[in-house]
Chains A and B, each alone.
Chain A
Amino acid sequence: MDNGKISGHQLMILTMLFTMGSSILVVPSGLAGTVQQDAWLPVVVGIVVTLALSWFYLYIGSLYPDRTLVEIIEKLFGRWVGAPITLLFIVVAFCVGSGSCLYYLGDFMTTQIMPETPIQYFHLLYILLLIQGTRLGLETLARSAEILFPFFLLLVIAFIIFVSPQIETDRLQPMLEAEFKPILQSTLSYVSFSGFPLIFMLMLTPACTDRGKRLQKKFLLGNLIGGLLILITTILCVLVLGVDATSRSMYPNYALARKINLFNFINRIEVIMAIIWFVSLFFKIVVYFYAGVLAMAQLLRIENYRVLTFPFGMMLYVLSLMVYPDSSFMRHWDSTIWVPLIATFGLVFPLLFVAVAIGKKFLTR
């Protein structure tokens, strides 16, 4: 199998980018739509829930250390019952996960930056990048994430500083007006973007050189940083754009970056935000893609997952154009179907794994 090893620090960065991934540009608008000026509250609750979930996932990983999710499923359920479950996980990671995230990128590019270029070309370029990244292996991916990390943070900080002169604190008031049910709903939506998909990180954690408590610390820290960055951007969106503009715009962070205007001289630098997003989204898609391809290779027991990258990339091209017929459907689908779908794989199945593992321990005793 893939013998690439990644350090704890690299895992932290990957986790951070995976947590932020698609959420950072999309989440604020949905939250502002449901809970108005209290959009930050579901994010805070969501971060706590996500941390608990990550702890839970790492617990599953620690049941069989050095085993990926697929191998854990096989250990727990045996080869014949495990295979269909693994297939379902592959479908979700590869078809739905990477397909939908890729469509996000295409949609963003065609609606915001280059409206005259067909969406297919963005998908094609990104898929070539994905294939190259996956073929070079996890080690290369983790190192590139590590190299990009300081620049990434610099861009985020620059973004926050540049936009801060336009903050109007009244926009957050009246505080804590939202009721319980909308908060629960938007927390669920946040967790479905940033929390539940972390189950697929279990395909990567065995490659980390750290184990046990140290792994846990890095994983949770990455998670926390990613969550905090989402929190900051959400608050900034509400503070600068206001609730109405945030909830109405498809990509509020991008609209926010448009507002940057220093001394009437530095302006129109919204591409900074786009670059931040390209980086985080690339790593989100690549983790999904890598998890899917590696899972398939382990399911079929082939030694080298790299032979699957080209065919899977070609399939991804068709699938990514198939997930969402258009962007209004995308928004509807994300808030309706995606939530229970990913909850099944991020909550129901993991609970089942733990139940089976405990049952097995009990029986063998």
Chain B
Amino acid sequence: MAAFTVLAAALAVAWIEVPSLRKRKRRKELWVFAFFLCVATGLNVLKALDVEIPNLFQPINAVYKPVSDLIEGMLK
């Protein structure tokens, strides 16, 4: 059910944006929009279906954990 809500929302967004972009013949913007909308819809559908999404912040944490430990060690 939640997944369908997401799809409906994505359709509504496309319905708002696409006609004016097509009218103004903005090819590139249309592609960029379509790409990001697909990514966003995909993420939201996965989230709605409770699929385990890899935490996108894990790489950040992995990179900065040593740095943060170092700072903490210096300030202790």
Contacts and interface: CB of A to CB of B under 8 A. Distances in A.
Contact of A302 (B32, B40, B65, B67): B32
A340 B68 contact: yes
Interface in B3-39: 9-10, 13, 16-17, 21, 26, 28-29, 32-33, 36-37, 39
A305 to B, nearest CB: 10
Interface string A169-190: 0000000000001101100100
Contacts of B29: 302-304, 307
B72 interface: yes
A315 B17 CA distance: 17
Interface string A294-307: 00000011111001
B60 A337 contact: yes
Contact of B40 (A301, A304, A315): A315
Interface in A308-327: 308, 310-315, 317-319, 321-323
Contacts of B9: 314
Interface of B is mostly: helix
Nearest to A307: B33
B64 A341 contact: yes
Contacts of B32: 300, 302, 307-308
Contacts of A315: 36, 39-40, 43
A310 B60 contact: no
A304 B72 CA distance: 44
A333 B21 CA distance: 41
Contacts of A313: 40
A339 B41 contact: no
Given A181-B75, A302-B28, A311-B39, A337 B44 contact: no
A96 B76 CA distance: 27
Interface residues of B, number: 33
B60 A311 contact: no
Interface string B44-67: 100100000101110011001101
Contacts of A310: 13, 16-17, 37, 40
Contacts of B47: 317-318, 321
Contact of B68 (A182, A303, A322, A337): A337
B1 interface: no
A312 B43 CA distance: 11
A184 B44 contact: no
B64 A340 contact: yes
A112 interface: no
A312 B40 contact: yes
A239 to B, nearest CB: 27
Contact of A96 (B41, B44, B57): B57
Contacts of B55: 322
A314 B44 CA distance: 7
Contacts of A267: none
Given A303-B26, A310-B17, A323-B57, A340 B39 contact: no
Nearest to A131: B13
Interface of B: 9-10, 13, 16-17, 21, 26, 28-29, 32-33, 36-37, 39-41, 43-44, 47, 53, 55-57, 60-61, 64-65, 67-68, 71-72, 75-76
Please list the 10 inter-chain residue pairs (A to B) with the smallest Cβ-Cβ separation, ordered nearest first.
A311-B36, A314-B40, A340-B67, A310-B13, A311-B40, A336-B68, A307-B33, A185-B75, A318-B43, A315-B40
14 contacts: A95-B56, A96-B57, A188-B71, A304-B26, A308-B33, A308-B36, A314-B9, A315-B36, A322-B55, A333-B61, A336-B65, A336-B72, A340-B71, A341-B64
Given A307-B21, A314-B44, 8 more contacts: A96-B60, A184-B75, A302-B32, A307-B33, A311-B13, A311-B39, A315-B36, A317-B47
